[in-house]
Amino acid sequence: MLRIDVLTLFPGLIEGAFRESMLGKAQENRLVQIRCHDLRRWALGRHHVTDEPPYGGGAGMVMKIEPIARALDELRTDETHVILMGPAGRRFNQEHAGRLANRAHLIFVCGHYEGVDHRVAEHLVDEEISIGDYILTNGAIAAAAVIDAVCRLVPGVLGSGDSATEESFSHDLLEYPQYTRPAEFAGWRVPDILLSGNHEAIRQWRMEQALKMTRERRPDLLGGGERM
């Protein structure tokens, strides 16, 4: 079972997402365990302060290192891989999701406000991850996206064993177009090849369409070389 802990100031923001749909079923079936923690639990003092103005001045507040360090001291084990969600991190992709799905225990540290004391990235985590070059309200939203991508690759989470390997990005290609009944709607027909029953021809058509869509919409994924 993959165990995941999320350290955030706003656990309620993402807890609901983990109780629904695929992630909810995965937890019911004890394939994954996801726990969201309020970092204020590890903050000292009557007011449980988790942020301070930055040294040197500047706008906004920066999350303190002490609550994060205490939380990691309590939750970390020999199997733990700690991830900081932040804009300076490595860009997340499907290959990265596959590697994380093979871990036994993940802890996500979610930044808020103007960022996190840099000593967290330097000394307390194993890696920093970004999901894109844009600004979100807080890191918990980004962590939820990463957790969803990771959990669907855990064996048994998806209903079909082929689903994870045939999805977009699994082979550095976008997924081929998908259709279902009716075969014609408002004059728009499903491609005849998909109704032919010729499985090898369908496989070839799907590969060609995946390459075509990737070439047109995400040529960066091809990396200068195409394949059949």
pLDDT band at 169 (very low <50, low <70, confident <90, very high): low
Strand partners, 38: 8
The pLDDT-based confidence of 160 (bands split at 50, 70, 90) is low
| pTM for the full predicted model | 0.85
pLDDT at 54 over 60: yes
Domains, the chain, in order of start with CATH, read 2-151 (3.40.1280.10), 168-222 (1.10.1270.20)
| Contact in structure between 146 and 97 (CB atoms under 8 Å) | yes
C-alpha span between 149 and 94 (Å, rounded): 8
- Please answer whether residues 206 and 176 qualify as being in contact, where contact means their C-beta atoms are separated by less than 8 angstroms: yes
Q: How far apart are CA 10 and CA 44, in angstroms?
A: 18
- At 179-228, the pLDDT tens digits run 999 999 999 999 999 999 999 999 999 999 999 999 999 999 897 544 43
Strands 184-185 and 188-189, by their bridges, are: antiparallel
